[in-house]
Structure 1
Amino acid sequence: MDPDYFRSEMWWGTLGTVRPYSNFHPDRDAMELQAALERKDCGTLLRILTNRNNEQRQILAKTFEEITQKELGAAVKKALSGEVETLVLELLMPPLHFEAYRLQAAMVGLGTDEETLLEILCTRSGSQLKEISQVYKQMYKKDLEKELKSETSGDFAKLIVALLNKSDMAGLVHKDVETLVATLEGKKCEAAPWIEILTSRDPDHLRKVLDEVEFCTDLFVDEALEKRFSGDLRLGLKVLVQCLQSPEFYLARRIGVMKSPQTQRVMVSHCEEDLLCIRAAFLKLTGASLYSTLQKHFKGDHLTALLNICRSED
């Protein structure tokens, strides 16, 4: 653990585990990285790259290229391999590019990773998703909405597209509650009201609505959705509700599979935002700290990188 991490004023008041390095000297870091890459010293690479936040890593990558006339990502590919190579390359991506990359990875090849699509679309704000869509088009020369439509179908496709274009309209709590309760009490539970309301209201409003729906029906919303819907739509609505009610617990469950790349990518995605909250939720869910649990499932340099991102024992 870098002692400077705890001395930094930027440490206070943040819920991330990877924070700005206060004694940041990109020229010095770049020279040290160059030497480490030449001798394939993964320990030094990880010590530097996991102790700089993403903004600093972007500056460092640019400085490295200016000094060495080589692209840092390409140099990493030559020096490293396997899961630790993938993790370091993901750390070097700007945040919006990383989310676009994750969405593309969830759709490429045979089958679609619906839950990764849902994780990103449900935990990111409407404005963030607009930026991610723009970056996706720059990176892959394709329209994200069209890609999502081609990978999904039916009401699930409607939900996915609505999530991508979500907004924070004002609404009346009691009216939304009445609408949703009515769908649960009818013979057929229609998806349209759930999709429309859950993707077009601000999160605080929706949490009040979901609390009232549970009070009126004497059922957890999760249980009601399980009974009334099926297939990918049920999964999508349940993930959306879980992310509205407690995103840190949902993400802790995602990390808890303890399989790369899922665990790794969620940690990289959230390490500068709310990984401390996710760590606390993980401890409540499992009775074990994330730091200790990682040590039981991963090994070598890959484990070192994950522990650096996790930061400490709870």
Structure 2
Amino acid sequence: MDPEYFKSHEMSWGTLGTVRPFSNFHSDLDAKEIQTALDKKDAGTLVRILTNRTNAQRQEIAKSFLEITQKDLAAGLKKALAGELETLLLELLMPPLQYEAYRLQQAMVGLGTDEETLLEILCTRSGKKLQEISDAYQQIYKKDLEKELTGETSGDFTKLLLALLNKGEVVGGIRRDIESLSATLNGKKADAGPWIDILTFRDSDHLNKVLMGLELEKGQMINQVLEKRFSGDIQMGLKVLVQCIQSPEVYLAKRLTTTKTPIMQRIMVSHSEEDLLCIRAAYLKLTGTSLYTALQQKQFKGDHLQALLAICRSED
């Protein structure tokens, strides 16, 4: 790993991300070194540079690369690399909003829908950020994200996704919200409407108090309540939303333990500059193994493994 990276820690104290601004950064020098690495198909150098720069710095490198070579950096990576490493480095090159839009599009493209990836993004991003992602989706794919979600899903699950996409923070009474949710569980069929309305339009502190109050009233954990009273996609959606309200980093850590390579990789890229340190801590507490060690125990090899370890950054 580049020793200059460790000096860059002084640049960003307070961040919960693992990838931080690289000190002594010169986009033109990086671009020239990348040009040589692409010619030689030197994957190690590409990994060292692109995982040691923030996304903003990568955008500067791509701009300098275009000015120097008159070629697109992403196209160069596609030509020089293959497989999972190619995919990972191309994902690192995408601007954050474009990347989240891409992840949503990938969750809906082709046969079948990856409902949990849709939930992961919609449940862990703020309303403001989701509107920016929605705008990016429209710009890139020339399609309305709401219409895409509606076309890919149905029923209460669609209502939940659209409410999450347009989430806000409306002031409500804690006792009133507890009573509203409790009332939905009294009939033969539970009504998802109030759950959707309340869980997507209150702040997390308020909602944690509501959920704790409901658990005390029902004498059961919320997950148990949801499993008994709901089924199918809406049950999964409400369970994921509750987990993200209670602890988004624990939810994401659980997702890292159970998902396939593309999803694990995308979570790490998506959160590398925001809160991957929190997710790492939750992963260690959840599994008893650090994420850094777990990556080495999985099927990853060679430069692809080194790239993932560089994003993870260190042992806990």
TM-score grouping bracket, smaller chain normalisation:
over 0.9
Identity %: 69
Aligned length: 314
- 2:79 corresponds to: 78
Tell me which of 299, 303, 312 is aligned to 1:310.
312
In the TM superposition, what is the alpha-carbon distance from 1:242 to its structure 2 partner? 0.3
In the TM superposition, what is the alpha-carbon distance from 1:27 to its structure 2 partner? 0.8
TM (norm. structure 1) is: 0.98
Q: Within 5 Å, which residues of 2 pair with 1:149-298?
A: 149-257=150-258, 259-297=260-298, 298=300
Rounded Cα–Cα distance in structure 1 between residues aligned with 2:293 and 2:186: 45
Rounded Cα–Cα distance in structure 2 between residues aligned with 1:158 and 1:226: 19
Rounded Cα–Cα distance in structure 2 between residues aligned with 1:79 and 1:205: 51
- Cα deviation, 1:123-171, whole Å, max 9, x if unaligned, reads 0000001000100011100000000000000111111111111111111
In the TM superposition, what is the alpha-carbon distance from 1:212 to its structure 2 partner? 1.3
TM (norm. structure 2) is: 0.97
Q: Within 5 Å, which residues of 2 pair with 1:48-87?
A: 48-87=49-88
The amino acid across from 1:308 in the alignment is A
- 1:135 corresponds to: 136
Structure 1 counterpart SS, 2:258? coil
Rounded Cα–Cα distance in structure 1 between residues aligned with 2:178 and 2:25: 51
In the TM superposition, what is the alpha-carbon distance from 1:305 to its structure 2 partner? 0.7
Rounded Cα–Cα distance in structure 2 between residues aligned with 1:4 and 1:205: 43
- 1:7 corresponds to: 7
In the TM superposition, what is the alpha-carbon distance from 1:258 to its structure 2 partner? 5.3
Q: Is the Cα contact below 8 Å between 1:106 and 1:117 reproduced in 2?
A: yes
In the TM superposition, what is the alpha-carbon distance from 1:307 to its structure 2 partner? 0.4
Rounded Cα–Cα distance in structure 2 between residues aligned with 1:95 and 1:221: 33
Rounded Cα–Cα distance in structure 2 between residues aligned with 1:213 and 1:268: 36
Deviating more after overlay: 165-174 vs 108-117: 165-174
- Cα deviation, 1:215-263, whole Å, max 9, x if unaligned, reads 2212111111011100000000000000010100110111112521010
Rounded Cα–Cα distance in structure 1 between residues aligned with 2:7 and 2:100: 30
The amino acid across from 1:49 in the alignment is L
Rounded Cα–Cα distance in structure 2 between residues aligned with 1:17 and 1:50: 10
- 2:109 corresponds to: 108
- 1:24 corresponds to: 25
Q: Is the Cα contact below 8 Å between 1:118 and 1:236 reproduced in 2?
A: yes
Q: Is the Cα contact below 8 Å between 1:5 and 1:11 reproduced in 2?
A: no
- 2:118 corresponds to: 117
Rounded Cα–Cα distance in structure 1 between residues aligned with 2:211 and 2:95: 35
Structure 1 alignment gaps of length 5 or more: none
Deviating more after overlay: 247-256 vs 206-215: 206-215
Rounded Cα–Cα distance in structure 2 between residues aligned with 1:154 and 1:55: 40
Q: Is the Cα contact below 8 Å between 1:76 and 1:85 reproduced in 2?
A: yes
Rounded Cα–Cα distance in structure 1 between residues aligned with 2:12 and 2:309: 18
- Cα deviation, 1:166-199, whole Å, max 9, x if unaligned, reads 1111111111111112223443310000000011
The amino acid across from 1:264 in the alignment is Q
Rounded Cα–Cα distance in structure 2 between residues aligned with 1:191 and 1:258: 28
Check 1:112–1:258 CA distance in 2 against 1; reply closer, same or farther (3 A cut): closer
Structure 2 counterpart SS, 1:195? helix
Q: Post-superposition, which runs of at least 4 consecutive aligned residues in structure 1 deviate over 4 A? A: none
Q: Is the Cα contact below 8 Å between 1:258 and 1:294 reproduced in 2?
A: no
